[in-house]
Structure 1
Amino acid sequence: MATDERLRQRYDELRAAGAPIAASLDELLRQAPLERLRAAIPVDRPARQPPGRFSGHGLRQLAAGIAIGLVAAGAAAWIALSFGLLGDRDDWRSAVVEYTNLYTNETFSPLNPDASLQAIELTALGARVGANLTPETVALPGLRFTVACMLAYEGKPLGVIAYVDPSGAPVLLCIFANHATDAPIRSERRDDLSLAWWSQSGRSHLVIGRIPEERAVALAQTIEKRI
C-alpha cells in the first residue's frame, strides 16, 4: 500500500463501493414483507426476538457487515486474478469435463474412418477454428483417431477430436477459438479425468481423458509443437 500507487487506488475504489451496497441493502430491508414473514412462522415456535428493533440498528449493522464482506470478497477475487492465484479455470473446460464424464469405452470405439474421411473432417474443423489440421498433425502415439466434430461454446467455435486407446477409452483434443493470449501448458486432475491445456495463436487447447496426468501433458506437448 505504501509503495504501490495502483494498488492503493484500487483499495480506495473497493472501499468506496461499500456505500452504495449498504444503501441498496437498506432499501431492501425497507421493502421486506415483515408482516407476511411473521405470519408464516408456526404458532408453536415463537420467533426469537433479536436485540433491538428488527429494522433498526441491529439490521443496519448486519447490512454493513454484508457490504464489508462483499467488498472483501471482491478485493480477494481481484487480488487472486491479478496475481494468477485462480489460474484460468474457466467455464469452457468445465463444460468439456461434464460431457466427457458421459462417454464410455463404447462411445467412439466403433468409429474407424479411413485417411480420406479423416482429412475431410479435419479440414472442415480446422477452417472453423483457424488451425491447419491434417491426419498427420493430430496423430497421437498409442491412440486411434475416431472422429472430428464441431461444437460451440458461448457462440465461439469449439472443435473436438476424439481418440480411443486400445481398450476403447476415449481421449479428447479440444480446440477453442476464443482469442486467448498465449499461455504455457498447465495440468490438473478432476476426479478421474486428467486435463492438460495451453493457449497459442488465439486458440485454447485441451487434452482430456481418463489417463495419468503426466500422459495428458505428454500428449499436449506433442500437439503443441504441431498446430
Structure 2
Amino acid sequence: MNTKHTIPSDEDLTAFIDGELTAEEAARIQTMVEEDESTAERLEFLARASLPFKQAFAPLLSEAPREKLETMLAAIPAQPSARPASPPAFATRRRFLGALAAALVAGIAIDRAVIGIGRGFSAKDENSEWRAIVADYISLFTRETLAGTVPAADVQAAQLGALDEKLGLSLSPEAVSLPGIDFKRALLLQYDGKPLAQIAYLDPETGPLALCIVRSDAGPKAPDVESRKGMNVVYWSNRTHAFMLIGRAPADRMTAIADGVRGRMPV
C-alpha cells in the first residue's frame, strides 16, 4: 500500500514531534507538512499543547491493575524506531497515551481519549485556541480523577500562592471558593510557553469543574458562553488576564457561578 500521501494521524504527528519515528517515516510526514496546509496546522496545534497529562492522571493510573496493564501493553507490537534504545515507560506522550487506552479497556472511567483532540472548535475570538486545548484536557476528568478529601485552607493557600509569581495574580481560597462545590487542587500548567493556572473542583451534582487563567493583553471582555466537548464554558477577560470556567453544569448555572468568581477576582 502506498502511504506517501496518507494523511498522518494525531498519534503519528505526536510521535513526529517527540522524535520517535524512523528516518523514512519522519521524512514522509515532513513532506506532508510542507505540501499540505491542514497537516501543517494540525502539527502546530499539537506541538503547542503542552498540558501535563501524565501529571494530572498519575493518581488514576496508580490505582489501575498494573500487572494487567503491563500484560496488555506488552502485547502491542513494537514500532520500528530510528533510536537505538527505547525510552523508559511513560517517558513520552505516545507511551502515556497507550497506558490511558489500556486503562480504559481495564475498566477505568476516562471520558475521552487524549489523542482525539477536536478539530472543529469555534473561533469566536483570538484567544479561543487555549480554551479548546483546556477543554480537551478537562474532558478527560471524571469524579474519580478528583476523588479524595478537600485540602485544608492552608494547603489551598499554599497551592494558590505557588501560582502568584508566574501568573502575576494574587489568589486566595476565599476568592476562588465556589458555593456548594469542593475545591480539589490548584496547578500551574503551561500553554504556548505561557503559565496557565488550573483550579479544579468537584461539583456533587455534575462532576469536575475548573477555573483556568492565563495572562492576556487582549483587554477587557464581557462574559460569553460557548459549548466545548459536551461542557459549558463561560469566558471573560480583564486588562491583564483571560479566564474560563468549564464544567458540565447547565449554562445558566455556570454563568451564575462565573459571575460570583468575577466579583472576587483581583483587578
Normalised by the length of structure 1, the TM-score is 0.59
Residue identity opposite 1:129 in structure 2 = L
The answer on 1:196 being equivalent to 2:234 is yes
Q: Indicate which of 168, 180, 189 corresponds to 2:218.
A: 180
**Do residues 154 (structure 1) and 192 (structure 2) align?**
yes
Cα contact 2:135–2:229 (8 A) shared by 1: no
**Structure ranking higher in strand proportion:** 1
CA contact (8 A) 2:164 2:171 kept: yes
Residue pairs, 1:3-18, within 5 angstroms:
none
Give structure 2 stretches of 5+ with no counterpart: 1-122
State the one-letter code of the partner of 1:183. K
* Alpha-carbon offset, residue 117 of structure 1: 0.5
- Determine the structure 1 residue equivalent to 2:140: 102
Match of 2:145, SS state, is: helix
Q: Which amino acid aligns with 1:219?
A: I
Distance, in Å, in 1 between the alignment partners of 2:264 and 2:156 is: 17
Matches of 1:181 and 1:202 in 2, distance apart? 7
Q: Which aligned segments of 4 or more residues in structure 1 are displaced greater than 4 angstroms?
A: none
**CA displacement, residues 162-212 of structure 1 (integer Å, 9 cap, x when unaligned):** 010125711000011133311000001224200000001310000001111
Q: 2:201 is matched by which residue type in structure 1?
A: Y
* Structure 1 counterpart of 2:175, one-letter code: T
Q: In structure 1, the residue corresponding to 2:173 is in which secondary structure? A: coil
Letter of the 1:106 counterpart: E
Q: Secondary structure at the match of 2:176?
A: coil
Asked if structure 1 preserves the Cα contact closer than 8 Å seen for 2:206 and 2:248, the reply is no
Match of 2:167 among 126, 129, 150: 129
Residue 56 of structure 1 corresponds to none
Contact 2:216 2:239 in 1 (8 A): no
Tell me the CA shift for residue 124 of structure 1.
1.1
Note the alpha carbon deviations across 1:2-25, whole angstroms, 9 max, x for none: xxxxxxxxxxxxxxxxxxxxxxxx
Q: Matched residue of 1:128: which SS?
A: helix
Contact 1:109 1:168 in 2 (8 A): no
After superposition, where does 1:1-227 map in structure 2 within 5 Å?
86-88=124-126, 90-166=128-204, 169-227=207-265
Contiguous gaps of at least 5 residues in structure 1:
1-84
SS in 1 for 2:179: coil
Identity across matched positions, percent = 37
Give the 3 Å change call, closer, same or farther, for CA 177–102 of structure 1 in structure 2.
same
Shift of 1:148: 0.2
Letter in 2 for 1:113: P
Amino acid paired to 2:197 = G
CA contact (8 A) 2:136 2:229 kept: no
Write the letter of the residue equivalent to 1:136.
E
Distance 1:168 1:209, change over 3 A: closer
Between the aligned partners of 1:191 and 1:147, the Cα distance in structure 2 is: 22
Larger Rg: 1
